[in-house]
A and B are shown apart, each in its own frame.
Chain A
Amino acid sequence: MSAEKLTTLEDAAALVRDGDTVAIQNMATQAAPMALVRELIRQGRRELGVVCLVGGIPVDWLAAAGAINRLIGAAVSMEQFGLCQRYRKAVEAGAIRVEELSETALNARLGAGARNLPFLPTRGLIGTDLIDVNDNLVMLDDPFGGPSVVACKALVPDVALVHAHKADRFGNIGYEPTALWPDLGIMPKAATTVIVTVEEIVDSEVLRADPDRTVLPGFMVDAVVEAPFGAHPTSFYPRYGYDTAMHLEWIGSARDDEAVAGFMEKYVTGPADHAAYLEAVGGSERLAAVEAWEAS
Chain B
Amino acid sequence: MSDWQNSPPAEDWTIDELMIARLAACFADGDQACNGMASFVPVSAFWLARLTHAPDLVWLAGAVGLEPRPDRVPASTLEAPLWRDSIMYVEQYGDFWTIALNGRWLTKFCVGSAQLDRYGNGNNSIIGADYHAPRVRLPGTAGLGDMGSIGKALYYWNPNHNPRSLVEQVDFISCAGYLGGGTERADAGLEGGPELVITNLCVMDFHPETRHMQVASLHPGVTFEQVQEATGFELPTPEGQLSTTAIPTVEQVRLIREVIDPDDMRRREFGG
A interface residues (Cβ-Cβ under 8 A, vs B): 27-30, 54, 73-77, 79-80, 83, 87-88, 91-92, 94, 97-98, 100-105, 107, 111, 122-130, 133, 147-148, 177-182, 185-186, 235, 237-238, 241-242, 244, 293-294, 296
Residues of B that sit less than 8 Å from A by CB:
37-38, 62, 64-65, 74-81, 83, 89, 91-94, 97, 101, 124-125, 131-150, 172-176, 179, 185, 188-190, 268
Task: Establish whether residues B89 and A180, one from each chain, have CB atoms under 8 Å apart when the complex forms.
Answer: yes
Q: A127-B149, A178-B89 are in contact. Are A29 and B79 (CB under 8 A)?
A: yes
Q: In the bound complex, do residue B74 and residue A125 qualify as a contact, i.e. CB atoms below 8 Å apart?
A: no
Across the A-B interface, the 10 shortest Cβ-Cβ residue pairs: A102-B145, A127-B176, A124-B146, A185-B93, A75-B140, A182-B93, A77-B139, A75-B142, A180-B91, A91-B137
Given contacts A127-B148, A178-B89, contact A103 B142 (CB under 8 A): yes
User: How long is the Cα–Cα vector from A87 to B137 in the complex, in angstroms?
Assistant: 9
A97 touches B132 (CB 8 A): yes
Task: Identify the closest chain A residue to B124 (Cβ).
Answer: A75
- Check A76–B139 contact: CB distance below 8 A: yes
**Residues of B contacting A97 with CB < 8 Å?**
132
Contact at A126–B176, with CB atoms within 8 Å? yes
Q: A92-B135, A124-B150, A181-B93 are in contact. List 17 more A-B contacts (CB 8 A).
A: A29-B78, A74-B143, A75-B140, A87-B137, A88-B136, A92-B134, A92-B137, A98-B137, A101-B145, A102-B144, A125-B146, A126-B188, A127-B185, A128-B149, A129-B173, A133-B131, A242-B79
- On whether the beta carbons of A80 and B131 are closer than 8 Å, the reply is no
In the assembled complex, the Cα of A130 lies from the Cα of B190 at a distance in Å of 16
Contact B145 A179 (CB under 8 A): no
Residue of A80, A177, A293 touching B81 (CB-CB under 8 A): A293
Asked if A129 and B172 make an inter-chain contact with CB atoms under 8 angstroms apart, the answer reads: yes
Asked whether B146 lies within 8 Å of A80 as measured between CB atoms, the reply is no
Looking across the interface, which residue of chain A has its beta carbon closest to that of B143? A103
Nearest CB on A from B123, distance (A): 9
Q: How many A-B residue pairs have CB under 8 A?
A: 168
- Cα–Cα, bound, A74→B175 (Å): 12
Residue of A nearest to B176 (CB): A127
Assess the B175–A128 pair: CB atoms within 8 A.
Answer: yes
In the complex formed, the residue of B with least CB distance to A90 is B137
The listed residue with most B CB atoms (<10 A of its CB), out of A100, A107, A293, is: A100
A127 partner, pick from B38, B137, B188, B268, beta carbons under 8 A: B188
Q: Would you give the shortest CB distance from A80 to chain B, in whole angstroms?
A: 5
How far does the alpha carbon of A75 sit from the alpha carbon of B113 in the complex, in Å?
13
Which residues of chain A come closer than 8 Å to B92, judged between CB atoms?
103, 179-182, 185
The residue in B93, B101, B125, B176 that gathers the most chain A C-beta atoms within 10 A of its C-beta is: B93
A30 & B79 in contact (Cβ 8 Å cutoff) = yes
Q: Do B78 and A79 have beta carbons less than 8 Å apart?
A: yes
B190 to chain A, nearest CB (A): 6
Return A38 CB to nearest CB of chain B, in Å.
22
Closest to A93 in B: B133
A100 touching B141, Cβ below 8 Å = yes
A123 contacts which of B94, B142, B150 (Cβ < 8 Å)? B150
Max count, chain B CB within 10 A of own CB: residue among A104, A185, A293: A104
Q: Are B137 and A103 in contact, with the CB atoms below 8 A?
A: no
| Chain B: CB-nearest residue to A123 | B150
| Chain A residue at smallest Cβ distance from B151 | A123
